[in-house]
Amino acid sequence: MTFAEGIDPVQLLQDLIRQPSVTPELHGAFDVLEAALTPLGFTCQRLRFEGDGSYPVDNLFATRGSGGRHLLFAGHTDVVTPGDSSAWRHAPFAAEIIDGTIYGRGAADMKSGIAAFIAAVAQAPEAGRISLAITNDEEADAVNGTDKLMAWAEAQGHRFDFAIVGEPSATARVGDSIKVGRRGSLNGQIRVTGTQGHVAYPDKANNPLPAAALLIGALTGKLDDGTEHFPPSNLEFTSADVGNETTNVIPASVLLRFNVRYNDRWTPESLVAAIEEVIGNQDLRGCSVEFMVVGRPSRSFLSPLGGGVETLVETIARRTGIPPELSTGGGTSDARFIADYCPVVEFGLPGPTMHKVDENVRVADVEELTALYAQFIADYLGTE
């Protein structure tokens, strides 16, 4: 496959990787995108959102065309820190290509998706309307990024018919899996308080640790058996802290932290009620308990399996010969913010190296993803 005309997605990916855009530092990532999008007829707007207890974030909204279906592509230019650069065989922001593989932080997650989509738009016929919503705040707080960008777009009168988020979604080969939904995520903490005392006089104290252990046992694990399109919900404790550096003091309290990944059987409200019920049913031996939700939970969602999803499945099957698996597994992404506005899927490259030392993707995979995006754009926007 050659890109003698239009945009070379591999070159564009290299240009993006060479911008060290660790959240929330943008560097020149949006300059690279605007230089590619403007000649394609896109109007680009940069929007900075701030507040709500988080850092200021730069976002980019680009749009082209009018009438017909409105296709949205969403993604993020921010990347996680490379850590110790000396541990990398290939410099994390050099974008080296070795034996058909391009190395660099963000290669898989997810600058490749952005580069492939823009190159695909350069190949596609100018039908319908295409917009891009790109943030530099997905890997960290995700407060002043896609969530606020989508709210702004709606306030400006933008209405989308279907969205693709270019996150890594494939497992072994490009197009073998797309994510049509995600489990929700809820973070919580439980403080169990007893009475501090000397370990030699346990009758004069009330150790909160046994009560905390009881709660951990009662709450940990599967909450259900899954649903038609989702795996089981699960609650996992991630921390138990008493802040006690001595060996002869019974602690006054213990703070437990946990995360729940939940399917479409639950809402944040029903989940909180179920957790409170379990807590209330335990014999906590005179200890008091405070439970609270930390941050804002993300809800589970499942996009309608007709419309854009059906067209995308048909496009992939026609080109690869195999329909993609429709998955709802994995963690969260910014698709959770877009699901409130239109059906959305995640469709990108295989991502086994994302967030790892020597993160990389195959050049051939970037080119294949570009071809699939281009064909989908033609199929989706060319039909009414």
Catalytic option among 8, 137, 138, 264: 138
Residues 299, 109, 306: CA angle, nearest 5 degrees: 50
Would you call 154 a catalytic residue per the annotation?
no
With contact defined as beta carbons under 8 Å apart, do 73 and 131 qualify?
A: yes
Q: Which amino acid is at 229?
A: H
Nearest to 91 by CA among 353, 364, 360, 361: 360
Parallel/antiparallel/unpaired status of strands 43-51 and 360-362: unpaired
Contact predicate 185/85, CB 8 Å: no
Beta bridge partners of 170: 350
DSSP-assigned letter for residue 40: G
Residue type, 359: E
The 3-class SS string of 178-235 reads EECEECEEEEEEEEEECECEECCCHHHCECHHHHHHHHHHHHCEECCCCCCCCCCCEE
- One-letter amino acid for residue 49 of the chain: F
The single residue of 8, 15, 58, 78 carrying the catalytic annotation is 78
Q: Where are the beta strands (DSSP E) in the chain?
A: 43-51, 54-64, 70-76, 97-98, 101-103, 129-135, 162-165, 177-179, 181-182, 184-193, 197-198, 221-222, 234-241, 249-250, 253-262, 288-298, 301-302, 325-327, 344-346, 360-362
Residues 37 and 77: their CA atoms lie apart, in Å, by 15
- Residue linked to tokens 């499942």: 302
Block residue for tokens 């190395």: 103
Torsion of CA 102, 106, 110, 113, to 10 degrees: -30
Give the count of alpha carbons within 13 A of 260, CB side only. 33
Task: Give the chain's largest Cα–Cα span.
Answer: 81
Identify whether 379 is a catalytic site residue: no
- Would you please indicate which residues are annotated as catalytic (active-site) residues? 78, 138
